[in-house]
Structure 1
Amino acid sequence: MQGNETKNITNIMNAASTDIKQKFDSIRDILLSLKKHFIDLGVGDFWSGILVNLVGAVVLLVICWLSYLLARRVLLRVLRFVLVKTDNDWGNILIENKVFSRLTNIVPALVVHVLTPVVFDKLESLVVFVQGASKIYLVLALLFTLQALLASVLDIYQRYDISKRIPIKGFTQAVMLVACFIGGVFVISIIMGREIGTLMAGLGAMFMGFLFVFKDAIMGLVAGIQIATNDTVRKGDWIEMKSHGIDGDVIDVSLTTVKVQNFDKTVVSIPASKLITDSCRNWRGMKDSGGRRIKRSIRIDMRSIRFVDDSLLEKFKRFGLLKDYLQSKLNELNTHNQTNKTDLSELVNGRRLTNIGTFRAYIFAYLKNHPKIRQDRTFLIRQLEPGDNGLPIEIYIFTNTTIWAEYEAIQADIFDHLMAVIPEFDLAPFQNSTGKEAISGDLNVSMMSH
C-alpha cells in the first residue's frame, strides 16, 4: 500500500516536471518564432537577437510583477484572513511585523532565477549575471524576513511573565548578527563566483582582522549573553552604579548595551560589558522579598545616661508599651539582688534599670507593635560602639513595602516618634555644638528634670 502511494507521488512529480519543461520549451519556441519573424521583416540576425532579448526582458519583468501582485493581493490576503480567525494573537503579531509581506519579496527573485535561462537562451554571461543578482536579492529578502520574524518572536515572548526573568532580546540580536554574517559570505561568494568553502578559507585572515577591529562589540556581545544566561539584569530592575552615575530602573537590555532611566528621568546607556567587569548593585532581591531594610542609628549623649530612680520608674509604669517589660525585668533584677544579698544603698551595687536600657526596650516594643514592620525578618535594636558622637542605638528592621515613597514615609514616622520621646526617658540626643549654647563638660538641657 505504502509502495503504491510512493509510486503515485513520484508519478505526479514527474508529470509536473514534464509539464513545466513543456511550458519552458513553449516560451523558448515563441521567442525563436519572434526572432524568425524579425528576420523575415529584413532585420539582421544580430539585431533580431537583441530585439528578442529586449522583448524577453520585458516579458520577464511583467511575469515578475504579476507573480508579486498575486502573492501580495491574493495569497497574503487569504493568509491574513485565516490568521485573524485564530484564537491566539500570534498571527496578528506576525502580520503587524510584516513577516509575510516581506516573505512575498522572494517570489520575483525565484521567478527571475527560473526563467532567465529560458528568456536569455545562449547568452551564458547575461544569464549568470541576472541569476547572480536574483540570488543576492533573495538573500537580502530572506534576511529582512528573518528580522521581522525575530521581532515577532520577541513580541510574543514579552507577553509572558518569564520574559521579565529571562530576556531574550540579546539572543535575537545575536541570531540576526550571525545570519547577516552568513548572508554576507553568500553575497561575496556570488559576486566572486567562488564556492563557500573556498571563500571561507580565504576569509580566515580577514576574519581575524574583523575580530580585532570589532573587539569591543564582540566583548559586548559576549557580556550580553552572560547577562541573559546568568540573569544578572532584567528589564524593570533597579540598579545602582555610582561610578557611572547610574541609579534607576533598567528600561532595555540589548545585545551590547543596557539602558537605565535614572530617578531624575535622565537615560544612561552603558556597555553590557561594564555590568560584568564593574561593581553593580541590583535591588531586585529587595523588591522580590517584599520588604526594604531600615538601618539607622539614634545617637544619645552619654552624659544623659543614668540609673532609673523611683520617680522615673513610676513614670515608666504609665507607658503602655513598657508594662510587660518592666514586670519581667523588675522580677529578674529583684530575684538576682535578693539571691546575692546585694547592698542597694549604693548605686554601683547589684543590677538596676537604666534609662538607656529602658529606652531600647521601648523601641523594641514600639516596633514590634508597628503594623508596617515585618516581624518575620531580621529585627535588631542594638547598641554600637560609643565614640566622639555619642552612643549609637541602631535600628535594623524591614518594612512591609518596597515602594520608595511609602518606605521613606514609614521610616520618617518611626524616627519622628522616637526622637520626640527621647526626653521622656531623661535622655538627650547627641548633637554637635551650633555655637549658640555654652560649651562645657556639663549637660545643660532645659527639658531634663534633674
Structure 2
Amino acid sequence: MDSYKHFIYDYLLTIGTNEAVAKYLNMLGLAIGLFIIIFLIDFIIRKVLIGVFSQFASRSKTNFDDLLVKNKVPRNIAHIIPLLIAIEFVPSVFYDFPSFETVMERGLKVYAIVLTLWIVRSILNTFKDYFKTLPNLKDKPIDSYIQVFMIFAWVVGLFSAIALITRTPFVHFITGLGAASAIIILIFKDTILGFVASIQVSINDMVRIGDWITFQKYGADGDVIEINLATVKVQNFDKTITTIPTYALISDSFQNWRGMTNSEGRRIKRALYIKQSGVKYLTEQDVEDLKSIQLITSYLDTRQADINAYNESNQVNKELLLNGRNLTNLGVFRKYIDAYLKHHSAINKDMMIMARQLAPTTQGIPLEIYAFSSDKRWENYEYIMSDIFDHLIAALPYFDLEVFELPSGGHYIQ
C-alpha cells in the first residue's frame, strides 16, 4: 500500500536527491497524477452520462427529462464520482504533509457542499420549469415556492461550510449563532438587508447591469452601472450618478424599462385635446370633400354607402342631420389617424395601433394616439413622435377641428 505513496520519493533518493526535496517532488508528482486521473474520469463520466440522458430524453414522451438535461442535472451529478475518488486518495498524496492533507480534505468537503447545492438547484429549477408546463399550475406562484426551498438550502449549505472550516459541530454552531443573532442583526443590519435584497434581486431577475430604470424616490433615471451588496449605482441621462440602497429595490417601487428594450417597439401614448365646439355631423358635401384625402377615401365610400342604405331602409328624414345615422368630423379624423399610423414607416405594424377618444374634460376632448415606434433609441423616438403630432395638428383644419386653446391661443397637448 505504501509503495505507490513513495514511488517517486524512493526513485529520487536512489539518484541522490535531497530527502526534503524528494518529499515535495513526490507530493507534487502524485498530486499532478491524481489531478489528471480525476480530470479524465470526470470528462468520461460527464460525456457518458449526458449522452445517456440526452438519448433517453429524445425517446421519451415527457419533457421532464429534457428539462433535466437543460438544467444541467446530469453534468452536475457526473462530478460526484471524481470527487469521491479525490477524497479517497488525497491522504495518500499528502501522506508526508499532514497539514496539507487537512486543508485539502476540508476544501474537498466544502466543494462537496457546493456541488450538493448545485445539484439541488438544478433539480429544483427542473421541477419549476416542469410545473410551469402543467395547465393546472400555470397560474400558481411556482417561483416563490422554489425560491423558499433554494434559500433554505443555501443557508444550510453556508452554515455547514462555515462549521466545517471552523471545525465546530454543526449543532453547536447553529446554537451559538442563535445566541448572538440579536447583536449580529443590530451591527450588520444594512449588510444583512443588502444581502437578502441581492439574493431576491438576483433570483427574481429584477435588475441587471445595463438596465434602464426609473426610481422617482431617489431621483434616478438612467442605466444601472453597478450592483453590489449595499448599493446600486445608476448613471442618469445627464451623466450624474445616483446611489440607491440595494434593499430599496425590494421595499420600494421602481420602473425597469428592460421589457421595452427587449420588445419590438417603444410605446407612443399622447393625446390631442380637441375643442368640443368644433365637433359636428358631416353633410353629403362634407363627405365628398373629405374623399379627396386618399388615406380615408375607401373608408368613406364604404361607410357612406352603409349609412345611406340604413337611412333609406328606415325611411329616415334627413332634412335634419340629427336623424338617423351620420358621420362626424371627429370620428372621421380618428379614422384618418388610424390609417395614417398604419402607413407610417416608423410605426411597428405588428404591435397595437389605436386612436381612441377619452372622456371629455374641461380642456376639451382627449384624442389619444396609442402606437409603438420601431426605433427605440430615445432621440429617434422623440423625433418620430414629434413628426406624427406635427402632421396631425396641421391636419386638423381639414376636418374643421381645432386644438383646445388656453386661454385663447396656446395649443394644449398632454
Partner of 2:353: 379
Cα displacement string for residues 360-408 of structure 1 (whole angstroms, at most 9, x for unaligned residues): 1111111111111122222221111112111111111111122111111
SS at match of 1:338: helix
The separation in 2 between residues aligned to 1:20 and 1:211, in whole angstroms, is 57
SS at match of 2:379: helix
CA contact 2:268–2:372 (8 Å) conserved in 1: yes
Distance 1:21 1:223, change over 3 A: farther
CA contact 2:264–2:348 (8 Å) conserved in 1: no
Partner of 1:250: 224
Identity of aligned residues (%): 39
Partner of 1:362: 336
SS at match of 1:252: strand
Partner of 1:13: 5
Distance 1:429 1:207, change over 3 A: closer
Partner of 1:426: 400
SS at match of 1:249: strand
The separation in 1 between residues aligned to 2:196 and 2:245, in whole angstroms, is 11
Moved more, 416-425 or 260-269: 260-269
- Counterparts of 1:22-41 in structure 2 under 5 Å? none
Shift of 1:218: 1.1
Give the greater-gyration-radius structure (CA).
1
The separation in 2 between residues aligned to 1:209 and 1:229, in whole angstroms, is 28
Q: Which one-letter code corresponds to 1:299 in the other structure? A: Y
Cα displacement string for residues 190-221 of structure 1 (whole angstroms, at most 9, x for unaligned residues): xxxxx644994895444552233102201211
The separation in 2 between residues aligned to 1:262 and 1:367, in whole angstroms, is 32
CA contact 2:214–2:222 (8 Å) conserved in 1: yes
- Counterparts of 1:279-298 in structure 2 under 5 Å? 279-298=253-272
Partner of 2:140: none
The separation in 2 between residues aligned to 1:347 and 1:322, in whole angstroms, is 22
Cα displacement string for residues 285-338 of structure 1 (whole angstroms, at most 9, x for unaligned residues): 111112111111111111111122344333212111111111011101110110
The separation in 1 between residues aligned to 2:176 and 2:324, in whole angstroms, is 89
Cα displacement string for residues 257-308 of structure 1 (whole angstroms, at most 9, x for unaligned residues): 2221111111122122111110011111111112111111111111111122
Partner of 1:262: 236
The separation in 1 between residues aligned to 2:12 and 2:199, in whole angstroms, is 49
Q: Which one-letter code corresponds to 2:227 in the other structure? A: V
Distance 1:404 1:304, change over 3 A: same
The separation in 2 between residues aligned to 1:11 and 1:321, in whole angstroms, is 94
The separation in 1 between residues aligned to 2:387 and 2:188, in whole angstroms, is 54
Q: Out of 278, 285, 288, which is 1:314 matched to?
A: 288
Q: Which one-letter code corresponds to 2:251 in the other structure? A: T
The separation in 2 between residues aligned to 1:409 and 1:337, in whole angstroms, is 45
CA contact 2:341–2:353 (8 Å) conserved in 1: no
CA contact 1:220–1:256 (8 Å) conserved in 2: yes
Aligned residues: 290
Taking structure 2 as the reference length, the TM-score comes to: 0.60
Q: Out of 402, 424, 442, which is 2:376 matched to?
A: 402
CA contact 2:265–2:374 (8 Å) conserved in 1: yes
SS at match of 1:406: helix
The separation in 1 between residues aligned to 2:318 and 2:237, in whole angstroms, is 60
Cα displacement string for residues 95-146 of structure 1 (whole angstroms, at most 9, x for unaligned residues): xxxxxxxxxxxxxxxxxx969xxxxxxxxxxxxxxx9xx99xx99xx9xxx9
- Counterparts of 1:80-95 in structure 2 under 5 Å? none
Cα displacement string for residues 15-53 of structure 1 (whole angstroms, at most 9, x for unaligned residues): 667899999x989xxxxxxxxxxxxxxxxxxxxxxxxxx
CA contact 1:225–1:255 (8 Å) conserved in 2: no
Distance 1:382 1:435, change over 3 A: closer
Taking structure 1 as the reference length, the TM-score comes to: 0.56
Q: Which one-letter code corresponds to 1:328 in the other structure? A: T
Distance 1:348 1:16, change over 3 A: closer
Distance 1:202 1:327, change over 3 A: closer
1:337 corresponds to 2:329:
no
Partner of 1:390: 364
SS at match of 2:371: strand
Gaps of 5+ in 1: 1-6, 28-62, 76-112, 116-130, 147-170, 190-194, 437-450
Partner of 1:225: 199
Moved more, 309-318 or 213-222: 309-318
Distance 1:290 1:21, change over 3 A: same
CA contact 2:287–2:300 (8 Å) conserved in 1: no
Q: Which one-letter code corresponds to 1:280 in the other structure? A: F
The separation in 2 between residues aligned to 1:354 and 1:234, in whole angstroms, is 50
The separation in 1 between residues aligned to 2:268 and 2:289, in whole angstroms, is 30
Q: Which one-letter code corresponds to 2:268 in the other structure? A: I
Distance 1:114 1:14, change over 3 A: closer
Partner of 1:60: none
The separation in 2 between residues aligned to 1:423 and 1:302, in whole angstroms, is 14
Partner of 2:46: none
Partner of 2:320: 346
Gaps of 5+ in 2: 33-95, 112-150
Shift of 1:430: 0.5
Partner of 2:185: 211
Q: Which one-letter code corresponds to 1:12 in the other structure? A: Y
RMSD: 4.1
